[in-house]
Structure 1
Amino acid sequence: MIYMSFFIGLILICKGGDWFVDAASKISETLGIPKYVVGATIVSFATTMPEIIVSAAAALKGHSAMAIGNAVGSVSANTGIILAISLFFLPAAIKRQDYIIKTILYVGTLVLLLISFKDRVFDWSDCILLLLAGILFLIMNIKNAFQERNKGFQRKNQKNDSKTQKKECWKMFVWFFIGAVAIVAGSEILVKSACEIAEKLHISEEIISVTIVAMGTSLPEFVTTVTAIIKKESSLSVGNIVGANMIDSAFILPVCTLLGGKSLPVSTQMALIDMPVCILVSVVALFPMLYRNKIARIDGVFTLLIYSSYLIYICRGNL
């Protein structure tokens, strides 16, 4: 029964991801919004729902290691596996101005998390700067969306096209919602069954949270990225990962802390190993492409190698 649930969840995620990316691409084209902005806002929020839900539920039940491990582990998995795959299969020229400020803000947020972990406790005072960074990120994306829409907006024949555009938009929003629901529902089913399988193998909660749970809740981003690779939508793929990671970094732990009404204890492994590696893979994956104005396959290879080495290191005594 556990294995059946695992495959049901996987099917829901795969099909939902297909609907999701199609709808997101067509929405951006219809509204004149760049696909990077769509990926970094709407798509990212929907695909990060599993991480938010799982971490919040874990924190409310007193499993702080699961809450923090899932939040940080998801960022590492998104970057070390998903973004690495995207960089390898979709090398392309990029516009530095589309990425540089958001990337610096994202990496800066990770550094803030590392600093907040220094005293081995994440409390409400640590939430303030993270929430401000997350809100600033969203405001920047919304502002960019309106600016780009206004640039590409055609007033000619507006009356003749408005009804067709509205009809097309509503249709795509429906499919977008259906895809998002399928992804989130499938992730919940898959993560639950994967955790039950892992518990039978007697793996510690901390290792489960930064590996199996984190990878499971990152499946929406993985499927969305794979679908984007198939459809050759590199901007949507990279934008989705950067946006998803920013939301994970800035919102998950503050939400867990504020909902639970108490601070979250941080383990030594999280402060000294997991979080520094999370920052390292993000820098290796994103900064070279900003320097050369181009996504290169070698960046994906290095990112995946670092993340793989990290997984081997933390799992060596638990398997």
Structure 2
Amino acid sequence: MNLFVAQHGYKRGEWSKSTLRETDHTTLALPAIPKDFALPYANERSRDGVAAQSATLTELDNQPATGPWSMTAPRKSAAFAIAIESDQLLGRFPFPETFLTPDEIVRAERLVHERARKDFLAAHLLARLCVSHCLGVPFGDVSIRQRCSRCGGSHGRPEVVGSSDTYVSWSHSFGYAAAVVSGRPCGVDIEFHGRKIGVAVQKVASTKSEFEFLRSHEDGDSLARHLWLRKEALVKAGLGSLPEVFRLDAMGEPIAFASRSTEVLNVGGRSFNISERSVGGGDVCVAVEVPGPQIVWLGLPDLIE
């Protein structure tokens, strides 16, 4: 639940795939608010209001709507990934904040640029749609929380409330959003084609052999972005911190890496299925720990009928 629920009267479980079909949101018929529907934090939607009620919000948000949920055998056989343009998804949602937690709303409001805020919302919504698809539960019942293991802040690796065996990751960049859900640790990263990884950053983020390969390859600058994508995805899949992964060789077989082929990568004493692809003006990489499922790429119609 979140503050938008109090203002607009939505409740988890009342929205399904059919509700999210493309429609004229100015005439969208919203669920009626039950007479006994009230929230203890139905105050003004502001950062101060969220902070003042943080204890209550955390307590409520940590409670699964129905759960616990577990993946069925067919779902466990695949990791579901998707990458789309953010606006393509947001066009289906009249009030995207409705489905986020109070902590997520606060983080979204702190983003100065409107484009960054939209991408943030799209990525978090996309992850919920993937979880709904993977677990076979109503979209409105999906709750995802983040808690830093070090400081307890509302960031860190995402967790699906009520489903401890479900792993989820998301990413967003300059108009694009991506997400992956799996029964094994997974991570995803997406980068806009226009982002250039400079030589100085390449040197810091690469092992000696990786750096030498990038500098000797005619398409080295583009491949540097793909190496960055791969390492970010591996970090999100739990391989280690970014500085730790920088010191690991994540390139694997150079020919396969240069051709961006799907491969099993052995790195840091663990193995991951790696899948990369381009979407519009962005590149995306997914990493799923093995032994684990095959990576299945979805389209928005697979999530919203």
If the TM-score is normalised by the length of the shorter chain, which range does it land in? under 0.3
TM-score where L is the length of structure 1: 0.23
TM-score where L is the length of structure 2: 0.24
More relative contact order, 1 or 2 (CA 8 Å, 6+ apart): 1
Greater helix share, structure number: 1
Greater strand share, structure number: 2
